[in-house]
Structure 1
Amino acid sequence: PAEFFRRVMPLWSRSLSAASARKRVHDAPQGGIWFYSTAYNYTKIALQYEPFIEQKINFLVEDPGTGGRRLREIGRESHWLYAWSRSSDIPSYSQVRSIGDRISAAATAVRLGAEEDAIRSVVLKSEWWQHLLTRRLAFALFNHRALRRWRDAVQPEMIVVGNAGDERILLLNESIEKVPTVLLQHGIMHWTYAVTDEPVDVFLLRGPFFQRAVNEKFRRKTVIQNFPEVAAASSQRRKVERKDILFITTPYDVPALFHRNDRRDILRSLLLVAQSTQRRLMIRVHPNETISDYEQAIRELEHELGLRTEVAYSQGPGADEVLTSSCVAVLHCSTMFLDCLRHGIPIVSFGWHWFPNKQQFEDEGIFHFASDLSNFENLVRRGIEGRLPVRCDGIAEFLAPTEPQVLADFFKRIWDARQPNNARLLDVDVNVNAR
């Protein structure tokens, strides 16, 4: 019932669900550093950088079930954005309709050639455009109003984010222009970074490879400051025999042109390989998916194939333990590819799927892209047998070594830049690094 209510009435469900949290908004920290999270992995990357920041990070989450989930797992406090919202922040149907009409009118008023005009007509009549104007626009208005209330109440002195998608509503707001804004690279970057600038002061990258992948204007804001790796896992990795086939999932309702039958085909191939090689299949389930969904899919496929094989599931904490016991990793466009690289695990992916910077990753020897399901099964078998090349040298291109004190000093300079008399400090540091 709760999920049904959330899907049918997304704004009212957020407003009403946050009612109990409204009593605690007056106890929220004032000023300081705030990380606005809209996803599990974004929160995770913030926690990895936090030890190198003098100030403790306060977490503002759009959804306790996504951005707040990692914090609950480790017993950390988070603040729900909509605790600051009011029912009056929910836009009426007439408001959304009026704004949508003005947006459509503005798009229609631009003079275009015949071919471009035909394309525009297709876009403006599409289901995607109607979804944007009826669902996404209403959410953006509500989200913007809630963020404005939070910002006015808390007065953050520094804002950090793990992405510039849904967070853009906050980043674009003119009232935070004097507040330092930092974007952390959480994994594979979106393709739009190759052509767009982003409304942040600094973009912290994990390695030079990613700096080359962004456009020139945005590159001036980038700084290569990877968080120092924890070395404790290396001795443990040597003790554990790597035998598992690791499948790192992705929600199939998110990427464009993905079909759930494709996922079924992939799982079928993985079961066949696991059965023939007598290896365990470890399914690492995305935070936005459920283990039960994959358990059901596996049961159906085992019944269809007439076989039984060892399958285990993992979600939430314990990613390093899963990686430590894996001999080959299968993944989509996943942020966990950097973890696989760090653990020295060969990576197999799907050549028939769209992938940001796909050719560059293949050229660098990071991913092995399968051309079809038969080739996919062959690549996984080669990974099990140790015959799949693994990128062992030049990893600093993706995970640059950074001294803890250097990273701490950098964050301190950003923090100091929030002062009016240090307004140019941030620009100077970033531009020097970019050059």
Structure 2
Amino acid sequence: MKSWPRPEVPTITTADFQLRLFDTADQVIKPVHMPATGPVGMYVCGITPYDATHLGHGATYLAFDLIHRLLLATGRDVTFVQNITDVDDPLFERAERDNVDWRHLGTSQIDLFRSDMENLRVIPPQHYIGVQESIDDVIDVVQQLLDNGAAYIVDDPAHPDIYARRDATPQFGYESNYDEQTMAEFFAERGGDPTRPGKHDPLDALIWKARREGEPWWDSPFGQGRPGWHIECAAIARRFLGSTFAIQGGGSDLIFPHHEYSAAHIEAACNEPRMAGHYVHTGMISLDGVKMSKSLGNLVFVSKLTEQGARPSAIRLAVYASHYRQNRDFSTAVLAQAESRLDTWMQAVRRADDDSAARTLIDTVIKHLAEDLDTPGAIAAVDSWAAGIVGAKDASNASTELTGPGALVAQALDALMGITL
């Protein structure tokens, strides 16, 4: 599946720095492991295409775009993989509700998502992969899990579904660090089926759903059916990144069960102790203090914001005003402040004339971003620099062109944060 056009990202000269991120599994901020040779692997879970692209999605992908840009700034290549869950129950349910074909709904939402990511200048993945084009990869992993005893077929002639055993790896639970009760609650709330008859354990995860009337299906050695949710990401990640790689990421609502199980499936199939070096998760977005949700009908869509005149760089600044791991609030006031901040920065880069101050600022921004994406710290540093320029110089001195120190700062903010001035 095609992704979206790659934005032009300036190449900047930076001092050596080490990117450090919070790892959900180890509960610490630690350096991102860089392989001795070859690219850094990053897998970020994509959308289920039925409500693209709300700001919660946008905030997640903007956070990982920061990581992508910082890795590139270290001089490393990045292999970035993202899936699209274009076969799943929520998509079918929304299509039935709206009386449309699920394929048409998915296609329209994927097109909208691509457009939003292009407008936000998110660097696209090299591999943008849907479930429908990953069936063979899923079948391979499911077969491996069956062959090594990590999966089983339930005793149900009508629906011989296949489940992965949660005890197939001794390290199960290390990624989320959740206790049994929390796992059970989230499993039931987030797509699990703990009461399914025939399962060996309530927390065993569906990896192949036998054919049902009215649902899409594919042939496999173990019968007609379709993939479960978690096995999808496991199979795609293994195909393009191998059984171990640097970063798996997504929203904090994916910590369990989705990321726990996708890691467990790869680890059980490949006999690996740990799939990703870092498990990185973003906080949730609220609107005016109330968590955004489909049920409340308070989702804010990126496309609507841009249609109303919000500049993509201002949307980035609104998201970056709070730390990526926090549950953050969005409002018209937050966006208005971001628009005003963007105007000030644009004035400052056109009046800047101190090369030393500009280079010191860039080093400061990198220092903040490299330490677990401290965007509030980076923004505060640019605010302080810009205020000293805009407050001290007459507007008539502003240039319409970016040159000298201002151009250095603008290029750095574009390269590192995707903000165009």
User: What is the TM-score when the length of structure 2 is the normalising length?
Assistant: 0.24
Structure with the bigger RCO (C-alpha within 8 Å, sep 6+) is 2
The structure where helix makes up a greater share of residues is: 1
